[in-house]
Amino acid sequence: MRSSIKLAVIVTVAAAIIIWLFKIFNIAATPLFADLSAFLANYGLAGVFLVTIVAGTIVPLGSPALVVAASPFTDPILLMIVAATGFTIGMTINYGLAYRFGRPYIEKRISAEHFEELKRIWTKWGWIIYVIFGLIPVLPVELLAFLCGFLKTHLTTFLLLSFVPRLITFAILAYFGQHLGIWLGVT
């Protein structure tokens, strides 16, 4: 947990430096933003939806960065709802795979005592950790979806606690991206 927090701080500082460099080098005038605008014109929110589904699995596509980059070109409310829904579907795929196939695999690899210890810790602290990971974009919440599936967590609870933190995160990122786009001169 401590190493994940350190990683989040490092990534945040690095992102701030990169944004500052974008402003200095007038990145808004480069073809990168024209390509992103063309992507959104061609694929729209459906493209964002499909990318976030894949990003919700263990494929590292960087959905938070996509939301920030796409927000100057689309409605932020629709963007955050579409991205949160897609990401939740991707995490539900992880959950379903682990629910169906994971427990027998895990039970063969670890002792029953260790498995019960894992269940006890997850019952006590799991949802707090899961929500924290869901709210911080650089933490691997997708992997915790597997753990929820292994432990046969109730699906409704899993969906609620997967969707709401990501909706909040994507809302913040969408509005941040809107203001960043204005500051960089993209919109």
Q: Give the closest residue to 140 by CA, choosing from 80, 86, 71, 64.
A: 64
What is the share, in percent, of the chain residues with pLDDT greater than 90? 19
What is residue 129's predicted lDDT score, i.e. its pLDDT?
A: 83
- The band of 10, judged by pLDDT with boundaries at 50, 70 and 90, is confident
What is the spatial distance between Cα 181 and Cα 187, in angstroms, rounded to a whole number?
6
- Say if residue 46's pLDDT is above 70: yes
pTM for the complete prediction?
A: 0.74
- Say if residue 82's pLDDT is above 90: yes
Instruction: Tell me the two tokens of residue 107.
Output: 């039970």
- Say if residue 47's pLDDT is above 90: no
pLDDT in tens, 107-126: 666 777 877 887 888 888 88
Of residues 91 and 13, the one with the higher pLDDT is 91
Q: How many helices (H) and strands (E) does the chain have?
A: 9, 0
Q: What would the 3-class secondary structure string for 54-106 be?
A: HHHCCCCCCHHHHHHHHHHHCCHHHHHHHHHHHHHHHHHHHHHHHHHHHHHHH
